[in-house]
Chains A and B, each alone.
Chain A
């Protein structure tokens, strides 16, 4: 992790909206995020909180009628939001690759996986000139071996359905890896897999991060996974980031009531005490409560929560929380980062 170097990705005020019958849904609401080269950032949150939408926004893959409403997506110094479509296609899969949740529906069932990995390479014209096929194929076998697919030569010809779930996910990772991206977006990459397979895949991802110094954004609902795997964590709730910071700070000393609640309701392996659930359920994004969106479920709610707009405030160096109790700054007088 080289924090002091240039940023790999910076999201400034990113807002992504979906018009629905019942009104405009702000799936991602004024989100600020930074990823340094070699950093693993975890975005955690429950379903519908907008964590996947952030990834799709970065790649500008928001399906109509949804659109990126405001903000900047600065990747390696250029704003992706205003890049022409042609240039954007050159970035997808090459400089930024995405690993999806369900490998079986992401892989094309009628082509051998090896060919699909090669296709990712061919699209970006990485190898040119005579003997392109052979060179590409050599690289594919290399990547397959790196992704931990045994017997790459024979598995090159295998069709997705002939592989196990873990192998399919490895093939998907190989596709994401073949162009040596600077940033990998992983959307619940192990949710469909068993724990022992999950451990294999996360081991692989960690190695990729280390060997290639690739930045990774891991979107997951599994707090344990994020806690073990990530350097930094952002917790999302109803389109907002409610807390972010270094993983140990967030997990061991959570400052936002939602993060605190999430951690409290997690069944632990350290105690069998009765768990403490967060009451209520996630609000309807088309009809958000005014003020803090977590207010209706918050155990610490005060009157002013319901009509004050809160922002992310520093609660410790590099640790931010979006809660009214830090708004006044009375509890923490640390200097704010720009």
Chain B
């Protein structure tokens, strides 16, 4: 899918550069005085850089509390980063706005699908068809959208499907009610719902159907980049498959770019072109999907992959039981964030210095084992076998 927009794929569609997102928890005066509590800082995302190329799907995986959801919300500008900068086609996102030069591709795409870069997205004194190279000011919320995890709370319970999608269409700038109506029906049908249900409330739908409504709402503004935050983890297996397929179809149809956040690695394997693994606010490994699943380099990735229960005996890995749990992001360990649980810690450096993302062949991994980059590519997994336990 990466090739579809090859001529401009040297520019990432969305790029996060050194993003940090800290949350401050203020202790009350009383707690400070009596319990000696201090203001605390949760380092949810700590210095993360991620490039997402047009047309690809990047899987973002990690356990709860690793910061993947926060990063997703920073990349849709629901959260403002504490530090760092977000770029859209190499243009900085300022507040919720970004000025993007219009490329020939956009015009071609626009003609092809009538979906991308619709002029009504632009605001400001540049009406009409823009000249090539001319910068136009966009609301970032029109270029990116989010699909949420919980199909029950992500739809306003007091609004009908028509209202929910209608609001999104109005945000896109469709003023005419009749046009809005037609477009609503088209979207509803596209995501596989019956138009007879257009005046029904969310509680009248099943979980899978609600998720489809949520998807229709995101599509309504014609975004180019969609962050899907665990979009199928609340659904039953058979419904999960339907929604996954829908997301894939829509990607091909509208040339969407996805950041797919999930804890279910088999879903990520299925959907993603590239995968980034997060642990405690950092990306610890980043690679093409096949490479990552065939040859995970970071000890955490190895443990994570080994922990997924799978049906196929052939796909089962030797289980690596990690000790303990993910440390608190309020008081993260020094050095490598994974060192307290790491089964292959190599020495003092793990406890004192945080490894950067090293290049190891086509993969990038934040582990001191790979400081000498050539090493990993030649020898594969340098995992001490004594640490493994048979999985039974």
Contact = CB atoms under 8 A, between A and B. Distances in A.
Direct A–B contact in complex, judged by CB atoms less than 8 Å apart: yes
B139 to A, nearest CB: 34
A275 B270 contact: yes
Interface string B78-117: 0000000000000000000000000000000000000000
Interface string B253-295: 0000000000111110111000000000000000001000100
Contact of B325 (A166, A251, A265, A282): A166
Interface stretch (A55-63, A135-143, A225-233, A309-317): A225-233
A33 interface: no
Contacts of B120: none
A246 to B, nearest CB: 14
A195 B63 contact: yes
Given A200-B321, A272-B270, A206 B237 contact: no
A165 B244 CA distance: 29
Contacts of B392: 206
22 contacts: A167-B325, A195-B63, A196-B303, A198-B309, A199-B321, A203-B389, A206-B392, A225-B309, A228-B310, A229-B309, A262-B237, A266-B241, A266-B266, A267-B240, A267-B270, A268-B311, A269-B308, A269-B310, A274-B245, A275-B241, A276-B241, A281-B208
Nearest to B312: A270
Can you list the 10 inter-chain pairs with the closest CB atoms, starting with the nearest?
A265-B241, A277-B241, A194-B63, A46-B236, A267-B270, A224-B309, A199-B307, A278-B238, A225-B309, A195-B307
B interface residue count range (under 10 / 10 to 19 / 20 to 34 / 35 or more): 35 or more
A203 B311 CA distance: 17
B263 to A, nearest CB: 7
A136 B380 CA distance: 51
A49 B376 CA distance: 47
B122 interface: no
A309 to B, nearest CB: 24
Given A196-B63, A196-B322, A267-B267, A277 B238 contact: yes
A275 B314 contact: no
Majority SS at the chain B contact face: helix
B298 to A, nearest CB: 13
Contacts of A282: 206, 236
A243 to B, nearest CB: 14
Contacts of A281: 206, 208-209, 238-239
Contacts of B63: 194-197
Among A223, A228, A251, max chain B CB count under 10 A is at A228
Given A46-B238, A278-B241, A268 B310 contact: yes
Contacts of A164: 325
A34 interface: no
Interface in A202-248: 202-203, 206, 221-225, 227-229
A134 B392 CA distance: 37
Interface string A90-110: 000000000000000000000
B339 interface: no
Contact of A275 (B64, B244, B306): B244
B238 A269 contact: no
